[in-house]
Amino acid sequence: MRRHHTTALSLLLTLVISATAGATRVNRRTASAKLELGLLRTIEMLDFDIEKHRQRVKQVTTKLLALQKRVKRLGVRVAKLQKQIAVQREYFAGRMGSIRYIKQRGALQLFLETDSFSRYVHKKWLLRRLIEQDQQRIVAFRDLERRLASESGTYDGLAAKLAGMQLNLVEDEAKLRRLREDKVRILDSVKHNRRYYLRYQEELSRSTVRLVRELLRTRRRVERKSFHTMKRRFERPVWGAVLKRFGQQVDVRFKTLTQHNGLLFRTRMRQRVRSAYSGRVAY
């Protein structure tokens, strides 16, 4: 029975060794292929992201060109408004004396300065017309100043937005390119070190097989001499007398087969002592 048990165990461990070696080779190749495939997929995804980013850059660039044209037109309008305001300021600087003089002229003084009533009416109408024109010019001047402030604010905001968009595009593209370069460098390293990795895996597989075989040999050796390691670990039997031999015993009456793992001694306190060799007690 023990021999059959040992044979079955040996066969099982042999199958385990074969399966372990085959599985290790398969796992080694599968792991290397999966690693390269994962890196290739990552690089493909990065290429796809870079292409999408380039398409977005084109769209944003189109918007930026339109924005630049708008900013340029605004710049021209702001310059024109500034020129008009400068002209109006020069005009008002020259007209301030006349405006003060006209406002200070009263109706009686104006009547006394004219020699006829018709000329007085005409002169009065001219003065009123000049005052209205001056007021309209002042209103127009204030409107030009407000438009200049609004256009200048819009121009500054669009210019800042344009600069920010350009900076973000450059930074995003540089970031994607650096990430792709890192992945390509890792893939090149994996391809370069693949033979070393496979050699390492083969050595690891051989070491595993040797370890399992050594374990199998040790197991067989221990099974052949199962009590050898227990030598000098038992107490000396007291008033002992050998009653049965080590090994298989056949009952005299019933003819049954019994396997005794040790020697039975009659002592003051019954105890079973195992022996390393048949017929001899190991102390």
- pLDDT tens digits along 77-93: 777 777 776 777 776 66
Q: Are residues 141 and 184 in the same domain?
A: yes
Q: Are residues 50 and 136 in the same domain?
A: yes
Report yes or no on 259 lying in a domain: yes
Residues spanned by the domain of 142 = 2-220
Q: Does residue 100 have a pLDDT over 70? A: no
Q: What pLDDT is stored for residue 157 in this prediction? A: 75
Name the domain count of the chain.
2
Report yes or no on 89 lying in a domain: yes
pLDDT band for position 20 (cuts 50, 70, 90)? low
Q: What pLDDT is stored for residue 239 in this prediction? A: 42
Q: Are residues 160 and 255 in the same domain?
A: no
Q: What pLDDT is stored for residue 143 in this prediction? A: 78
Report yes or no on 136 lying in a domain: yes
Q: Does residue 280 have a pLDDT over 50? A: no
Q: Which of 203, 220, 237 is a domain's end point?
A: 220
Q: What pLDDT is stored for residue 117 in this prediction? A: 61
Report yes or no on 118 lying in a domain: yes
Q: Are residues 52 and 132 in the same domain?
A: yes
Q: Are residues 123 and 261 in the same domain?
A: no
Asked whether 270 and 237 are in contact (CB, 8 A), the reply is no
Report yes or no on 280 lying in a domain: no
Q: Are residues 142 and 98 in the same domain?
A: yes
Phi (first) and psi of residue 262, to 5 degrees: -170, -170
Q: Are residues 31 and 104 in the same domain?
A: yes
Q: What percent of the chain has pLDDT over 90?
A: 0
Q: Which of 204, 220, 236 is a domain's end point?
A: 220
**How confident is the prediction for the chain on average, in pLDDT?**
65
Q: What pLDDT is stored for residue 270 in this prediction? A: 47
Q: Are residues 46 and 129 in the same domain?
A: yes
Q: What average pLDDT does range 128-147 have in this prediction? A: 73
Q: Are residues 51 and 16 in the same domain?
A: yes
* Domain harbouring 167, CATH code: 1.10.287
Q: What average pLDDT does range 240-266 have in this prediction? A: 58
Report yes or no on 282 lying in a domain: no
Q: What pLDDT is stored for residue 245 in this prediction? A: 53
Q: Does residue 40 have a pLDDT over 50? A: yes
The tokens of 277 are what? 């060799």
Instruction: Give tens-digit pLDDT for 177-234.
Output: 787 787 777 777 767 766 776 777 778 788 888 888 888 777 776 655 555 555 545 4
Q: Does residue 279 have a pLDDT over 50? A: no
pLDDT band for position 147 (cuts 50, 70, 90)? confident
Q: What pLDDT is stored for residue 155 in this prediction? A: 72
Q: Are residues 183 and 203 in the same domain?
A: yes
Distance CA 127, CA 113 (A): 14
Regarding predicted confidence, which is higher, 37 or 213?
A: 213
Report yes or no on 283 lying in a domain: no
Regarding predicted confidence, which is higher, 108 or 250?
A: 250
Q: What average pLDDT does range 42-66 have in this prediction? A: 72
Q: What pLDDT is stored for residue 267 in this prediction? A: 47
Q: What pLDDT is stored for residue 275 in this prediction? A: 42
Q: Are residues 46 and 179 in the same domain?
A: yes
Q: Does residue 15 have a pLDDT over 60? A: no
Report yes or no on 17 lying in a domain: yes
Q: Are residues 205 and 81 in the same domain?
A: yes
pLDDT band for position 276 (cuts 50, 70, 90)? very low
